[in-house]
Structure 1
């Protein structure tokens, strides 16, 4: 057996960006010689991942998975949209989403989870970076569950089954049957995909976001030149409107643009003769919040030629 330790494997991984299994094999093949192992990985094209790690990854795929009364959503990013059409990448996102069903929604826990083939999710991701040739990242994961009822998923403009650019999960807690909950969940999921609520209820909206909106409303109202008591009412009115428009339960259903979502759920419960609670939801839109680098194609070509 080659003379090297787990610490050597860790060091080689950090130096090259290669996966754990590849690093271990490199040391085995080279008798534990660190520098020879680095060269071995380079010749195999497995030391490329580290060089790609600094590049912006804002494309990729969102995956959703449902198993019984549990659901998971995952976003895995890549540098270009071409990778999202790659079978290897799609297979990875699909498998990782299934694995996420057994995690608690923590990214680091998912990265450390076992991946088919005797490796981990993070090591497989590193291997993919080397073989596909682009930076990739497991950006976020969410998990929802109900004690009874249904988790319903929806993917907008799916690139493959359960994979696309917008993925939604709806958690409905109820004794009603699937014949009621599935179509209701699908309609709600389509609404969520289109309307992009920021929280389930107005009280669930992020406090910092509300304060930012309040400051904007205050500035706008102050420009009116009206008395302070009127300005205060204008600000509170603006905040109430913001809460109503951005909380799922108070949004107007996109199917008719007049019925509140809470009333849509209540009507379905009445028809079913059973209480239905919209307990939770997840909406992942690919790349939201990531600052994309603007590329000038002509300059890029000129730089490459130079």
Structure 2
């Protein structure tokens, strides 16, 4: 019998939205392998597609900052939301985000950077852990820029200036003035916060992710009993839809629910009388891919595992 725990069943339920018994069966069928169980549930139509990354599963703050035509984003985690509201913690996040503007988008480089008042970023973080009395971590950093144009920041439901649970940066390369580019960048950033694109274009999507989606689509299509040539067309159709829905440029603009983002940018360029290129974006959502540690599990889950 496959070995897995009540915690595993609970995690699988939270990640997929599947029922308790379906989650247990998925783990049994896949030798306790969590990722394989997720895919198994999806092929059976028992789970929503890849929603784990959209869940906030850790506390802390995401910070964004812009200087000139460069923007930076960082994520700093804490154990509780109480600490995320702490002035000392927020001051650290703000300063580290500003520091990130001047270093490579590399976590080790950021940790080794000088911190205002002495020491390094990592040393200041260690000191904060000691004084606040709760574990904290500098999880990730990103930086984008343009040669000419703007980088527009946006924070959804800001907890303090420049920081919150979702932070977005949009880089627009153009000769157009800031009066044209800033409003466009703000609307695009709001769309990105809501729609959570995985890449700029379909071609930019992670190949491993595409292959995983292809395998799932193939298994689903094969269950239809249709001929191989029809199955292949079904698979390619599923992948094309996946690329369209998860690439920013082909997503439908949330502001009007009918226009592709690429057409929104093209119309803005026409209105401005000069080219506008949506060069890059960053979207950090607090806790993406992190599961909170929980000590108590529902008795029904424990019973399901022991059944």
TM-score by length of 2: 0.78
Give the deviation of 1:296 after TM superposition.
3.0
Q: Indicate the SS of the match to 1:241.
A: helix
Moved segments of 4+, more than 6 Å: none
Partner of 2:229: 229
Partner of 2:247: 247
Partner of 1:149: 149
Q: Indicate the SS of the match to 2:215.
A: helix
What's the CA shift string for 1:87-144, capped at 9, x where partnerless?
0000000000000000111000000000011110000000000000111000000000
Q: Say if 1:293 and 1:258 are closer, same or farther in 2 by CA, change over 3 A.
A: same
What's the CA shift string for 1:186-237, capped at 9, x where partnerless?
0000000000000000000000000000000000000000000000000000
Partner of 2:33: none
Q: Indicate the SS of the match to 2:252.
A: coil
Q: Indicate the SS of the match to 2:179.
A: helix
- Cα distance in structure 2, aligned partners of 1:92 and 1:295: 29
Partner of 2:130: 130
TM-score by length of 1: 0.78
Give the deviation of 1:295 after TM superposition.
3.7
Q: Indicate the SS of the match to 2:77.
A: strand
Q: Indicate the SS of the match to 1:187.
A: helix
Partner of 2:165: 165
Bigger radius of gyration among the two: 1
Give the deviation of 1:298 after TM superposition.
11
- Cα distance in structure 1, aligned partners of 2:223 and 2:298: 45
- Cα distance in structure 2, aligned partners of 1:127 and 1:207: 41
- Cα distance in structure 2, aligned partners of 1:199 and 1:295: 36
- Cα distance in structure 2, aligned partners of 1:163 and 1:116: 19
Give the deviation of 1:58 after TM superposition.
2.1
Partner of 1:180: 180
Partner of 1:67: 67
What's the CA shift string for 1:134-166, capped at 9, x where partnerless?
110000000001000000000000000001000
Give the deviation of 1:180 after TM superposition.
0.5
Structure 2: which 5+ runs fail to align? 1-56, 300-307
Q: Indicate the SS of the match to 1:287.
A: coil
- Cα distance in structure 2, aligned partners of 1:279 and 1:234: 32
- Cα distance in structure 1, aligned partners of 2:232 and 2:98: 50
Q: Indicate the SS of the match to 2:288.
A: coil
- Cα distance in structure 2, aligned partners of 1:92 and 1:123: 12
Q: 1:16-35 alignment to 2 at 5 Å?
A: none
2:269 matches 1:273: no
Partner of 1:26: none
Partner of 1:217: 217
Number of equivalences: 243
- Cα distance in structure 2, aligned partners of 1:194 and 1:157: 12
Partner of 2:198: 198
Partner of 2:49: none
Cα RMSD, aligned residues only: 1.4
